Each structure stands twice: as C-alpha cells, then as structure tokens.
C-alpha cells in the first residue's frame, strides 16, 4: 500500500488550520519572542550542534502537530531503512548508503545482501596510504619533482562537496599545496587554472561517478593535451575516482592510482566517499578527513536514534516543510557568519534542490509543485547584508539559516575597531540580523517601516574543526532526506537533469557537422537555435548579421 499523499492526510489538514492562526497580528514574531523560556523551548542540542528555532513562526501547539507529522510519515523508520541498505532509491533500484562511508563501527551494512563495509574500509586505507605518499614526496610527477598543485576535475556532486569542505578547512591545509577546481566546461575555467599551475608539479584528480559526464570528459581531454604539450607523461600526473566498471575504470589507461566509489552512493551525497576523500586527504591530510567522517558519523547516529522532538535534522526538516507548505515561503537562504563556510550554500543548493526538486512521489503519483522543495541560495554574512538583505528585510520574505561559530580558526589576529575584534563585529551582526528580521520597526515614513515577522533559525558551532564541519555536512544531508520522506519523493534520483543533456547532444551533432563541413547549414533546426548557432559560427560576421 503506498502511503497517502501528504496533502491528503489528516495531519496536513491540521497543520493548514494551524497556519491560519499565524496570520493573526497577535502571532507576529515580536509577540512570540516575548514568551517565557522561548529560547529553551525552541532550541536543541545534539551531535555538537546547537539548533535554535525560537525565531521561527511557531508555537507549542504548532510544534506538537509537526512532531505528529514526523510520526505520521514514519520518518525515523524511513531513515533507518536508508542506513540499513534497503533500496530506498526505488526508481533506480539502489540503496543510498552514504552513511556507510563514515561508519567506524564493526557492524556490517548490507546492500543486495553483501556487506559493503570491507570495501569501504579498503578504500579509506588506500586513500590514507596514497595521500601520505603524495604529501611526503614519495610519489612525484614525471620529472621527479614533488607535487605542489592539485587540480580537481569534476562537476556537480563530484565537485561541490569537496569544494565546500576544502574551503571550510583551508586553514588546516598544507601550505605547500595549492588546490584548484576545474568543473565548468567553459574554457575560461581551464585557462584560469592552467595559468596558475606549474605543470611539472601538478597532480590531476579526475572525479566522475559515471565517467560519462560531457564536461568532465572534455576537461580531462584538455588536461591530457596540456600535459602532453608540456612534454609530461600523464600516467604520472593523473589519478581517477570513479565507479567500478565505469568507462574511466580502465586499466589500459595508465594512471598513478584509481579509487572506487560505489553505485549505492549518490553524487551529491558522496563527499564522504573517495570523491571527497581523495582531494581532501591530499590537501588536508588523511587524519583531518577522517575527523570529518567521524563528525558526520556522530550526526548520522543522532539522526537515527534521537526522538523527533530532540532530533536536529528532523526538526529542521519539519520547520522547513512548515515554512514551505503551510506558511507559503518559496525560498530558503543559508547565511553562514563564517567565511570558511562560503561554499556551504552552493553545496546545499545542489544537495537539496536536486534531491527535493521533484514532481511525483517515489511511486510516480503527481504532486503539485508546492509540495516539494524550495529554492536554496546563500552567501556568507556580513557580505550578504550588503548585497541582498534589503529584500530580506523589506521585500519578499524568506526563511534563513544563520550559522555562527564561537571560536574562529584564526584567533591570533585581535586588533580592535570601535572597541571590538573583527570576530566580535561579525557576531554583532550575526545577532542583530535575525532580531531585526523578526521584530521589525514602525516609522512615520513608510519607506522606513520594517514589517518584521520574518523567520530564521540559528545554528551554532563551537569552532570550525574538521569534526564540526562533518557534523554540519551530515545535518544538511539528513535535513534534506527527512523532507523528501515527508513528501514521499525519492531524494536520490535526478531525472530532471536529463532533458537538457539530450538536447545538448542534438546541438552538438549539428556543431560536429559544421566543424566537418563549413558549408553545413543549420536550417531545419528550430529558428531560435539556428539564430544562435549562426551567431557562434559567424565570428566577425556577427556584427554584420545584427546590423543586417
Ligand atoms: O560524477 P558524475 O557521474 O560525473 O556526475 C556529475 C553530476 O552530473 C549529473 O548531471 C548530476 O546532475 C549530478 O548529480 C552529478 O553529480
């Protein structure tokens, strides 16, 4: 029996009724915040994170119904099934076992009846040994020099997670190593990287689960051509991370080493597999990568075992669904008051929007668009305040996650301005923004009125250690899947990215024909694309065409 559509359940009706109460003036956040013990009642501690949702538009009664929702949709049972290796990715007939990547327990985890842990432990061990050899100079490039640059070639899930973590932890990186990312097929990305590396001391890490992604293949070819042009032997400068048996898992193409990821790990959930493990261990050292895994494992265990009312990612998912489905917010911002978390929002953007941007339940029943994910975006504070916060305060409202860190990675720089350190100045803003959004302000001048009643959560970390970053990473992963479980959608497939790829392939064929025969005409294509292809191939004639 498929579970009923969320919108057809009794709990949906109850929550919709609850939401109506919140349109009353007395439910404005400026009043709710005066409730006694507001912070204690609406905040949670767990797995090293503090999650404060006291400035969400919620009260005890609404919260009670949200907890009921968690039970009604059996969220923890679904999560348990995921961690136990059941085929929760139903449309692709696969398990989703990213949590196994950071399991350090002796317990087996089975996918298709087979314990996946031995293979996972082997990969970790292989990464450790490899990273030590590269960092220690035991493996060198083809001219015998130790590696000083790492270029990570990959896109989407084979890029964003590693970029988020490497930025978050770059204070711990080996100063002798520079890390570069080559994701975009745009030649400007390649040109930029090529102009900043020393080819002889560059290690290229080619990451692709499928090894069929057009952008990554094009960039890989570009890199090989570049090395060959410099007289270097690519087999001494390239390492691959891909699934077993993929086109890139090819022994006839010699590389320094090849690392496997597994088909039961989705791209956007793969940063704790070899996809993140190889580049991050090279850049930060394996021990730090392992600390990150241990932090993620703590959050996994918390999400698995804590009851809904104490479960951080589950509560965050409930609040998110409340804001989206019942209070009607269509976007959600992630604003870390911590520059090292500058790539958290792009990572969560893929993680969440690829997972929750669906239009049918996992068994194919249509959902109206409002019953799945919202738009995620974000930038670090205070930068965001000086760019788009005008709209956050006086324009269209959207919920925000404010993320703060008690101790910065750089505690040694303590000069003061206006009587406070930079970190304290940052905190003054980190504290003022959620309050200003919640409380608002009246003014005789309508242009200076702040309506307030704009919800936010605050997530606090003690510091930005690898362990805490791992906890934060897993928090967002689990928040994402809990939301998907509420809607009964599959957070592990991404068919929505296919149509554009197929159309690109048709257009590519036209380009191939033109490259082979300059007389090839684009006529017969749809008129709009014909116009643009003519423009691309016209070169200097473009101006003439426009004038004509
Ligand atoms: O790792 P790859 O197979 O190269 O895939 C890279 C990325 O491309 C796809 O288009 C998907 O949208 C992503 O989920 C995936 O992570």
How would you write 217-245 as a 3-class SS string? HHHHHHHHHHHHHCCCCHHHCEEEEEECC
CA of 163 to the centre of ligand 1 (A): 15
CA of 482 to the centre of ligand 1 (A): 22
- For residue 214, being part of any structural domain is answered with yes
Contact residues for 303 (Cβ-Cβ < 8 A; gap 6+)? 79, 311, 312, 313, 314, 474, 478, 482
313/433 same-domain check: yes
Rounded-to-integer distance, Cα 337 and Cα 404, Å: 5
CA of 486 to the centre of ligand 1 (A): 25
Residue list, ligand 1 pocket, CB within 6 Å: 155-158, 208-210, 213, 216, 267-268, 354, 494, 497
201/271 same-domain check: yes
Catalytic residue among 176, 192, 448, 501: 501
Q: Is 188 a catalytic residue?
A: no
> For residue 409, which of 57, 172, 133, 58 has the smallest C-alpha distance?
172
Contact (CB, 8 A) for 316 and 486: no
Boundary of a domain, candidates 493, 511, 532 = 493
Rounded-to-integer distance, Cα 256 and Cα 129, Å: 13
User: Whole-angstrom distance between the N-terminal and C-terminal Cα of the chain?
Assistant: 64
- For residue 398, being part of any structural domain is answered with yes
Judge if the upstream peptide bond of residue 382 is cis by omega within 30 degrees of 0: yes
Instruction: Give the pLDDT score at 545.
Output: 65
125/234 same-domain check: yes
Catalytic residue among 310, 370, 386, 441: 386
Tokens 């970053």 belong to 469
Rounded-to-integer distance, Cα 55 and Cα 364, Å: 36
| Domain span at 66 | 7-72+306-493
Mutation test residue for ligand 1: of 91, 98, 156, 211, the one with most atoms within 8 Å of CB: 156
Question: What are the C-alpha distances in Å from 513 to residues 186, 215, 480, 531, 541?
Answer: 21, 20, 43, 17, 20
For residue 494, give the ligand 1 atom closest to its CA. Answer: 12
- For residue 80, being part of any structural domain is answered with no
Mutation test residue for ligand 1: of 98, 184, 207, 210, the one with most atoms within 8 Å of CB: 210
- For residue 211, being part of any structural domain is answered with yes
**DSSP letter for each residue of 448-485:** G-B-----EEEEEEEE--HHHHHHHHHHHHHHHHHHHH
Distance of CA 528 to the CA centre of its chain: 34
Q: Backbone phi, then psi, for 279, in 5-degree steps? A: -65, -40
Boundary of a domain, candidates 290, 318, 348 = 290
CA of 38 to the centre of ligand 1 (A): 43
Count of domains observed in the chain = 3
Q: Is 86 a catalytic residue?
A: no
Structure tokens at 499: 């149509």
Tokens 């956007």 belong to 268
Mutation test residue for ligand 1: of 153, 155, 161, the one with most atoms within 8 Å of CB: 155
Hey, which residues does 111 pair with through a beta bridge? 114
Catalytic residue among 297, 354, 483, 510: 354
216/347 same-domain check: no
476/531 same-domain check: no
> Which of the 8 DSSP states describes residue 324?
I
Mutation test residue for ligand 1: of 209, 261, 357, the one with most atoms within 8 Å of CB: 209
Rounded-to-integer distance, Cα 40 and Cα 36, Å: 9
- For residue 133, being part of any structural domain is answered with yes
CA of 268 to the centre of ligand 1 (A): 8
Q: Is 87 a catalytic residue?
A: no
**DSSP letter for each residue of 102-129:** T--SSS--EETTEE-HHHHHHHHHHHHH
Rounded-to-integer distance, Cα 135 and Cα 146, Å: 8
372/426 same-domain check: yes
Contact residues for 486 (Cβ-Cβ < 8 A; gap 6+)? 6, 69, 73, 75, 317, 318, 321
Contact residues for 241 (Cβ-Cβ < 8 A; gap 6+)? 154, 158, 205, 206, 207, 208, 258, 259, 260, 261, 274, 275, 278
Rounded-to-integer distance, Cα 97 and Cα 83, Å: 6
- For residue 201, being part of any structural domain is answered with yes
CA of 156 to the centre of ligand 1 (A): 5
61/186 same-domain check: no
For residue 501, give the ligand 1 atom closest to its CA. Answer: 10
Ligand 1: residue whose CA is nearest its atom 4:
208
CA of 171 to the centre of ligand 1 (A): 28
**pLDDT digit of tens for each residue in the chain (548 aa)?**
678 899 999 999 999 999 999 999 999 999 999 999 999 999 999 999 999 999 999 999 999 999 999 999 999 999 999 999 999 999 999 999 999 999 999 999 999 999 999 999 999 999 999 999 999 999 999 999 999 999 999 999 999 999 999 999 999 998 999 999 999 999 999 999 999 999 999 999 999 999 999 999 999 999 999 999 999 999 999 999 999 899 999 888 899 999 999 999 999 999 999 999 999 999 999 999 999 999 999 999 999 999 999 999 999 999 999 999 999 999 999 999 999 999 999 999 999 999 999 999 999 999 976 678 999 999 999 999 999 999 999 999 999 999 999 999 999 999 999 999 999 999 999 999 999 999 999 999 999 999 999 999 999 999 999 999 999 999 999 999 999 999 999 999 999 999 999 999 999 999 999 999 999 999 989 999 999 999 999 876 676 666 66
Rounded-to-integer distance, Cα 182 and Cα 153, Å: 5
CA of 94 to the centre of ligand 1 (A): 16
- For residue 59, being part of any structural domain is answered with yes
160/280 same-domain check: yes
Rounded-to-integer distance, Cα 499 and Cα 105, Å: 41
- For residue 88, being part of any structural domain is answered with no
504/480 same-domain check: no
ipTM value for the complex = 0.98
201/316 same-domain check: no
Instruction: Give the pLDDT score at 368.
Output: 77
503/485 same-domain check: no
Instruction: Count CB neighbours of 420 within 10 A.
Output: 12
Total-model pTM: 0.97
Instruction: Give the pLDDT score at 253.
Output: 87
CATH number at residue 406: 3.40.50.10490
Boundary of a domain, candidates 471, 493, 515 = 493
501/489 same-domain check: no
């Amino acid at each position: 029996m498929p579970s009923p559509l969320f919108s057809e359940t009794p709990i949906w009706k109850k929550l919709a009724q609850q939401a109506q109460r919140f349109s009353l003036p007395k439910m404005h956040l400026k009043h709710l915040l005066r409730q006694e013990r507001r912070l204690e009642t609406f905040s949670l501690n767990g797995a090293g994170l503090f999650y404060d949702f006291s400035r969400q538009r919620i009260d005890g009664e609404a919260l009670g119904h949200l907890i009921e929702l968690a039970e009604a949709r059996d969220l923890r049972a679904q999560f348990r099934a995921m961690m136990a290796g059941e085929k929760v990715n139903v449309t692709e007939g696969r398990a989703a076992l990213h949590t196994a990547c950071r399991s350090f327990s002796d317990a087996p985890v089975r996918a298709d009846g087979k314990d996946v842990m031995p293979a996972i432990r082997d990969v970790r061990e292989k990464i450790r040994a490899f990273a030590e050899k590269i960092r220690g100079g035991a493996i060198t490039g083809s001219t015998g020099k130790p590696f000083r640059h790492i270029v990570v070639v990959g896109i989407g899930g084979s890029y964003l997670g590693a970029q988020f973590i490497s930025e978050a932890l770059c204070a711990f990186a080996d100063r002798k190593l520079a890390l570069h990312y080559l994701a975009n097929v745009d030649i400007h990305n390649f040109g930029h990287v090529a102009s900043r590396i020393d080819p002889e001391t560059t290690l290229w890490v080619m990451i692709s689960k499928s090894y069929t992604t057009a952008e990554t293949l094009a960039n890989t070819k570009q890199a090989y051509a570049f090395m060959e042009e410099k007289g270097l032997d690519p087999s001494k400068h390239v390492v691959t991370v891909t699934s077993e048996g993929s086109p890139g898992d090819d022994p006839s193409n010699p590389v320094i080493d090849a690392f496997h990821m597994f088909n039961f790990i989705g791209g956007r959930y793969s940063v704790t597999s070899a996809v993140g493990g190889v580049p991050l261990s090279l850049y930060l050292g394996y021990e730090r990568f392992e600390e990150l895994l241990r932090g993620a494992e703590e959050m996994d265990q918390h999400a698995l075992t804590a009851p809904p009312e104490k479960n951080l990612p589950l509560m965050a998912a409930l609040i998110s669904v409340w804001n989206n489905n019942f209070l009607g917010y269509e976007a959600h911002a992630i604003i870390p008051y911590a520059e090292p978390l500058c790539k958290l929002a792009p990572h969560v953007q893929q993680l969440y929007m690829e997972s929750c941007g669906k239009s049918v339940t996992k068994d194919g029943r249509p959902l109206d668009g409002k019953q799945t994910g919202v738009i995620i975006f974000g930038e670090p504070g205070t930068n965001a305040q000086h760019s788009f916060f005008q709209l956050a305060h006086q324009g269209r409202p959207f919920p925000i996650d404010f993320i703060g860190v008690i101790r910065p990675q750089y505690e040694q720089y303590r000069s003061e301005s206006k009587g406070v350190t930079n970190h304290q100045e940052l905190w003054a803003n980190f504290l003022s923004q959620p309050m200003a959004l919640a409380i608002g302000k009246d003014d005789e001048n309508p242009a200076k009125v702040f309506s307030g009643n704009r919800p936010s959560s605050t997530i606090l970390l003690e510091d930005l250690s690898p362990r805490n970053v791992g906890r934060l990473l897993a928090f967002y992963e689990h928040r994402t899947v809990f939301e998907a479980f509420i809607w009964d959608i599959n957070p592990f497939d991404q068919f929505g990215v296919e149509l554009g790829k197929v159309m690109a392939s048709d257009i590519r064929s036209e380009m191939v024909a033109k490259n082979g025969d300059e007389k090839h005409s684009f006529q017969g294509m749809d008129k709009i694309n014909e116009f643009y292809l003519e423009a691309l191939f016209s070169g200097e004639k473009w101006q003439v065409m426009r004038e004509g």
